[in-house]
Structure 1
Amino acid sequence: MSALTAPAARAFNDLVEINKTATKGYQEAAEGVTDPQLRSELSKFSQQRAKFASELEQKARQWGVNTKQEGTVEGALTDAAAALHRGWINIKSAVTGHNDSAILGECETGDATALQAYETALRSSDLPVEARSVIQKQHGDILSAKNWVTQQKGRVK
């Protein structure tokens, strides 16, 4: 199996960071909502994103990419990853108000930003077929989660 190109390695690093941030964001959201059904689903999404990060790290290692590098171009967050982090930062203020709709809105924003990062990665011609397959599946799962969150946000107004 050949090594990934530098742009593809950066995409993997970014997606790992995005999923780690989403893991924390969804966990905070689960802890902040009052509705037990929401709490359960948001916790599942947190676990899902942790699994995604782990899966991406494993695939990256297969291609010789160290996703734990810091201070290198490959380890640096891109604008998309930084934007996702900013999107999830607002979850803390929503959680302190214990407003389920506001919390879901922040989850929705975080997922929208994650989807953009996944779509950017998928537009890359540098991704091996196996990598593209993993990223496409995760993108679909994140889109499903975002759609569920959007539906619930309308329900809990």
Structure 2
Amino acid sequence: MEDVATKETLDLFNDLIRVNNDRIAAYMKALEALKPEDADLNILFVRNIDQSRRFRRVLVTELQALGGDLDIDDSLGGSIYKMWANVTPVAENHSRRAILAGCIFGEDTAQKAYETALESPHLPLHMATTLFEEKQLMEIARDQVRVLRDHVSPA
């Protein structure tokens, strides 16, 4: 039987795995919505997908090292980080600005999830360092998307 601290850490890792899964799915959805003239965004979106895949691998490895099981059921009550829900307008409005705005919303949500995780008193020190570094890399990704959005004229 696992102690409370271990259970909370496992739940935290599963939540962050969900965040990265959602981030991957959202960028894949955004890729599908791109118009030919927005092909320059393709590289950025693929890079962000690959980034979340790397982060997810680290989290899964740590989860398993603690004896935890991967539990990414979206119906879990503890899944407060279900993000990118507001990206739905992207599917209806394929404008470059709308796609980028949806991505920024998701990136902001991911930042909040990582901030919450970093506040956990049960987070192992080595993972606090790892999550802090991942958060910083996601901040850079968010800022790149924000700069691109800000250079697009409002419709």
TM-score of the superposed pair, with normalisation by structure 2: 0.86
User: Which residue among 129, 137, 155 is the counterpart of 1:141?
Assistant: 137
Greater shift, 122-131 or 26-35, is seen at: 26-35
CA distance in 2, matches of 1:37, 1:29: 13
> What is the match of residue 76 of structure 2?
76
- In the TM superposition, structure 1's runs of 4+ consecutive aligned residues that sit over 3 Å from their partners are none
| Aligned pairs (5 A) from 1:29-68 | 29-34=30-35, 35-68=38-71
* Distance across 1 between alignment mates of 2:88 and 2:45: 15
In the alignment, is the contact (CA less than 8 A) between 1:32 and 1:96 conserved in 2?
A: no
Shift of 1:39: 1.6
RMSD of the alignment, in Å? Answer: 2.2
Runs of at least 5 residues in structure 1 that lack an aligned partner in the other structure:
none
TM-score by length of 1: 0.85
Does 2:22 correspond to 1:7?
A: no
* Equivalent of 1:118 in 114, 119, 144: 114
Task: Quickly say closer, same or farther: Cα 1:92–1:141, change in 2 above 3 A.
Answer: same
Aligned sequence identity (%): 25
Among 77, 85, 100, which residue is 2:96 paired with?
100
Supply the distance in 1 between the matched residues of 2:33 and 2:72 (Cα, whole angstroms).
32
Mean Cα displacement is larger for which, 146-155 or 33-42? 33-42
Is 1:130 aligned to 2:131, yes or no? no
Deviation readout 1:28-48 (Å, 9 max, x if unpaired): 112212311112211211121
